[in-house]
Structure 1
Amino acid sequence: MLEAQAAGHELELVAVEVVGATRNPTVRVYLDREGGIDLDAITGANRWISTTVEESGLIGGAFTLEVSSPGIERPLAKPSDFAAHVGERAKVRTSAPVGGRSNFTGTIASADGDAVVIDTDGTTHRVPFAVIARAHLKVDIEF
């Protein structure tokens, strides 16, 4: 429901997280747009997202809403997110081991409808989207 509304405002819904206690959880919504998102767009989105979440009844009672840009270490939630960032570094955590591992940090080599291929120090790993619990871009900043 939020994805269609975001598209109607020429925004991309990057990710939604519900964290914290069941009594007053925090709903985090990450939005972006081509060329980047600004404070005015986030402020406007806050209003329609709050109304949509309240009217949906998915969160019973009070909640805290956080709306922001995805940031430099953007979450990767959909196959298209991975495909758009081929050649960039990412950190992926799985809900079940893949090849004996549950954490992968490396370069996104490719992505198709079923899995992402990550190169970790010369070793290639095919990680099915079905077992990815969390993933985000990994930016290494050197000072």
Structure 2
Amino acid sequence: MAQTELETQLLAVLEEHGAEHAIDIVDVEVVGSRKAPTVRVRIDHADEGAGPISLDEVAAETGWINQLIDEADPIEGSFTLEVSSPGLSRPLRRRRDFERFCGSQVSLSTNAEEGRRRFTGTLRALEGDSVLVECEGEELSVALSDIKSCKLKPSFDN
């Protein structure tokens, strides 16, 4: 779950104001060239019971997000802003994300220097500072600090 300093700064600015708009800032990613980067902000409803965020709702929230980034002015020059829903393969980065999506299929990669680094399985629990993932019939524990990325793995089975 490593982020650049710029991504961390943008995330902090947006999360500070997300609650007043009833919006959960799922993730911030900065990609592209340094001279003209693209800032990707993934948002969802703060209320878990509200269902997935719609395209119209995303469009309605883009204004304040753009304004906050402009006011913080962390990017030299121009940038492109992309605001979207987290999609089916939603990234999990906070403790509450792991708690919320227990029982879901995930794809997880670690910062491990040796051995296996990628796992796909069922997120079973968050215990202390580790997540438990059932993978290929075995339950493994991965420290939150060792997680490079974790995303929901959509299932299309009915």
Taking structure 1 as the reference length, the TM-score comes to 0.90
Partner of 1:101: 116
Taking the aligned partners of 1:4 and 1:137, their CA distance within structure 2 comes to 25
Deviation of 1:136 after TM superposition, in Å, equals 0.5
Q: What number of residue pairs does the alignment pair up?
A: 142
Deviation of 1:65 after TM superposition, in Å, equals 0.7
Distance 1:112 1:22, change over 3 A: farther
Partner of 1:139: 154
CA shift digits 1:74-102 (9 cap, x unpaired): 1111111111111110001112247x221
Percent identity, please.
39
Partner residue of 1:19 out of 26, 31, 43: 31
Gaps of 5+ in 1: none
- The equivalences for 1:17-96 within 5 A come to 17-33=29-45, 34-96=50-112
Between Structure 1 and Structure 2, the one with more strand by share is 1
Gaps of 5+ in 2: 1-12
Partner of 2:134: 119
Deviation of 1:39 after TM superposition, in Å, equals 2.5
Distance 1:45 1:113, change over 3 A: farther
Which runs of structure 1 show a deviation greater than 4 angstroms over 4 or more consecutive aligned residues? Answer: none
CA contact (8 A) 1:79 1:113 kept: no
Compare 37-46 and 106-115 and name the one that shifted more: 37-46
- Residue aligned with 2:112, SS: strand
